[in-house]
């Protein structure tokens, strides 16, 4: 699990880092001394878990969570840390994985990350298996909400590290969910979808034209990887 630590107190950050170092499945990507530093980092980087201090100057941990939700990124799992019990009710109102008191000991830390790991595995549960003859939809999870998406409405899927953007309908409505493109490719009908680039999976029936190394869906174009073009033309029944 990729994680970051957000705390204005350097000694507290060091304490959490030492605990992280003892857990094999945790990988510390960044430590942030301010909420705004964390906010900016989370706009561009894939993070599964955030150890977040509640009490910080200028912006509290609660305020950071609310700002992250408004920024429309995929929310990481949050474990809040605090020196007081006063914030516990507010913490769980925000649906965090756990709320632990400082100083954090290894036993309590292990309990919290075990809960976080279970939540991550649940969120990453594979999309429902597709029976090509019977099923014409998938369910995907985004921000703890399961959404039904008709397969025929999917235009294309874009890879974003461990996430994907699923574009549906002519207006290009987008759903972002925590799956790899490879996982999505394996769950969608191979006769309807083709991976024409390492970062794109396209619905073949939505391709309007192919020009050089680009596939056009209306005015939208997707790049075609050199190694994928020959097979793409076969699937499009090029004559």
Q: Are 165 and 174 in contact (CB under 8 A)?
A: yes
Please tell me the predicted confidence (pLDDT) of residue 128: 40
CATH code of the domain containing 69: 3.40.50.2300
Instruction: Check: pTM over 0.85? Answer yes or no.
Output: no
Q: Are 54 and 80 in contact (CB under 8 A)?
A: yes
Please tell me the predicted confidence (pLDDT) of residue 120: 82
Please tell me the predicted confidence (pLDDT) of residue 125: 57
9 and 95 assigned to the same domain = yes
72 and 39 assigned to the same domain = yes
Is the pLDDT at 230 greater than 90? The verdict is no
Please give the residue that has the higher pLDDT: either 171 or 103: 103
Torsion of CA 190, 192, 197, 200, to 10 degrees: -110
16 and 111 assigned to the same domain = yes
Per cent of the chain over pLDDT 90 is 51
59: in domain:
yes
17: in domain:
yes
130: in domain:
no
For residue 39, what pLDDT band results from cuts at 50, 70 and 90? very high
Contacts of 126 (CB under 8 A, 6+ apart): 179, 183, 187
Average pLDDT over residues 11-19: 96
118 and 153 assigned to the same domain = no
Give the pair of three-digit tokens for residue 130. 């597709």
**Secondary structure (3-state) at 52:** strand
Cis before 103? omega within 30: yes
9 and 57 assigned to the same domain = yes
- Report the C-alpha gap between 166 and 183 in whole angstroms: 13
Q: How far apart are the first and last CA of the chain?
A: 48
118 and 179 assigned to the same domain = no
Is the pLDDT at 86 greater than 90? The verdict is no
29: in domain:
yes
* Digit-coded pLDDT (tens) for 134-187: 468 888 887 667 888 899 999 999 998 878 999 998 676 888 888 888 888 888
Is the pLDDT at 127 greater than 50? The verdict is no
The residue assigned the tokens 């024409």 is 196
111 and 30 assigned to the same domain = yes
Please tell me the predicted confidence (pLDDT) of residue 123: 64
Please tell me the predicted confidence (pLDDT) of residue 91: 80
* Digit-coded pLDDT (tens) for 115-125: 999 888 776 65
94 and 17 assigned to the same domain = yes
Domain boundary residue, one of 96, 123, 150: 123
Please tell me the predicted confidence (pLDDT) of residue 239: 59
116 and 162 assigned to the same domain = no
* Digit-coded pLDDT (tens) for 50-78: 999 999 988 999 999 988 887 755 689 99
Q: How far is CA 203 from CA 16, 102, 235, in A?
A: 45, 51, 11
Please tell me the predicted confidence (pLDDT) of residue 170: 67
Q: Are 1 and 120 in contact (CB under 8 A)?
A: yes
116 CB neighbour count, 10 Å cutoff: 24
118: in domain:
yes
Instruction: Give the domain range for residue 218.
Output: 137-235
7 and 66 assigned to the same domain = yes
CATH code of the domain containing 202: 2.40.50.1020
Please tell me the predicted confidence (pLDDT) of residue 169: 81
For residue 23, what pLDDT band results from cuts at 50, 70 and 90? very high
- Report the C-alpha gap between 91 and 183 in whole angstroms: 33
Q: Are 96 and 79 in contact (CB under 8 A)?
A: yes
Domain count, the chain: 2
132: in domain:
no
């Amino acid at each position: 699990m990729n994680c970051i630590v957000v705390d204005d107190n350097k000694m507290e950050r060091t304490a959490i880092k030492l605990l992280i170092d003892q857990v094999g499945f945790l990988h510390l990507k960044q430590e942030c001394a301010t909420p705004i530093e964390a906010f900016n980092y989370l706009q561009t980087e894939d993070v599964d878990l955030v150890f977040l201090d509640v009490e910080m100057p200028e912006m509290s941990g609660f305020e950071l969570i609310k700002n992250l939700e408004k920024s429309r990124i995929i929310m990481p799992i949050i474990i809040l840390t605090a020196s007081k019990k006063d914030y516990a009710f507010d913490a769980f109102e925000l649906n965090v994985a756990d709320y632990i008191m400082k100083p954090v000991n290894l036993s309590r830390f292990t309990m919290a990350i075990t809960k976080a790991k279970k939540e991550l595995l649940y969120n990453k549960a594979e999309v429902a298996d597709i029976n090509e003859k019977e099923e014409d939809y998938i369910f995907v999870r985004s921000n703890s909400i399961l959404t039904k998406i008709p397969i025929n409405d999917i235009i294309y899927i874009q890879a974003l590290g461990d996430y994907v953007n699923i574009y549906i309908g002519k207006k290009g409505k987008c759903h972002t969910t925590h799956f790899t493109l490879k996982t999505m490719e394996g769950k969608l009908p191979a006769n309807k979808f083709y991976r024409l680039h390492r970062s794109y999976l396209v619905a073949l029936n939505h391709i309007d034209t192919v020009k050089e190394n680009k596939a056009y869906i209306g005015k939208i174009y997707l790049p075609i990887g050199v190694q994928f073009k020959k097979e793409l033309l076969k699937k499009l029944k090029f004559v």
